[in-house]
Amino acid sequence: MTLNVDVAYVMVDRLFGAMNLATLLSDALLMTGLFFLGRAAMKAGEYRPRMVRAAVGRPALIIALVGTTTTFFLIDRGTTTTTFMIDLGGQPWAAAYSIFGFTYCGIVLGAMLALAIRQFRIGRGVQRVPASLLVIGSTSGISLSAAVLIMDLAHLTGNLRLMRSVGSAYGSLSLLAFLFLCAGFAGQPVVRNLQDRSRRARTTEMLQRLDPLWHRAVRVRPGLSPARTAGSSDGDPEGHLHREIVEIRDAMFDPRVAFVVTGAEQTLLEQAERHLLGSEAGGAHAPVASARQSPGEEEQT
């Protein structure tokens, strides 16, 4: 993308003898970058259909790089030009060069679009925001690739009016693809971080609300857990919440002790269980540890 800046392109191309070799370098880097982005998007989830694996596989990249490199050296390139395809796109080998590169980019972006749509469907709430951005970015990139292919064929056949008409969308589509793909990939860790903070705060709140019930449970059934001092849950609040739920449930089911919970306390306990299971939004739920544990299992919990 940086080599699309005219000043940068001219400077780099001079290092290679001013024969437009910087064009091949920039396109090869772009294709390779999309390859790694596509593989990263695929490996981030379990949804990996065969067509997606093929699109972001090494054989597809190798074929595309070999095709673009071979056709590039068959072009009568002349000296450095910042309008490579406008000046040389009328040559069959120049059109083939561009078609090889942008067809590959379109295929990889198509795979990323399929993955982003899948991520959007299974996501909830704010999780859908990065997926939406990736859908827009991938769609823009596919549209850009299609526009370039039309421009290549129009130039090759001498239909310059069509080439200029479609070319007017090139800059906008390129910018949209770049911005939305970057925003989508950058947004995923941001959303995960916000969700982790929100969950940790919710866990801390649950601990505070469940503490009185837990203290009652360990008073009637002592020896289960060492006293928890203030702030001791900072390292692993979910582990402490799980332990409290287990010990409350054990006290409830132990016939040797008299431990009765109110309806409100039962509701709170079930809310805490659903929170640990990640299903507070509703639906069926099961207690985290309602089954009676043996002393050995309690020690391992």
pLDDT at 290: 39
DSSP string, 178-224: HHHHHHHHHHHHHHHHHHHHHHHHHHHHHHHHHHHHHHHHHHHSTTS
pLDDT at 237: 85
pLDDT at 259: 83
The stretches in the chain having pLDDT less than 70 are: 223-234, 279-301
pLDDT at 30: 93
pLDDT at 188: 85
pTM score: 0.72
226 token code pair: 């060492």
The answer to whether the CB of 233 falls within 8 A of the CB of 206 is: no
- Please state, as a whole number, how many other Cβ atoms lie within 10 Å of the Cβ of residue 237: 19
pLDDT at 194: 86
pLDDT at 224: 53
Measured distance between the N- and C-terminal CA atoms of the chain, rounded to whole angstroms: 53
Rounded CA separation 269/262 (Å): 10
pLDDT at 284: 39
Quote helix, strand, coil % in the chain, to nearest 5: 75, 0, 25
C-alpha distance from residue 158 to each of 100, 155, 171 (Å): 20, 5, 22
Give kind and range of the element (H or E) at residue 253.
helix 237-253
Q: Which residue has the tokens 């693809």?
A: 177
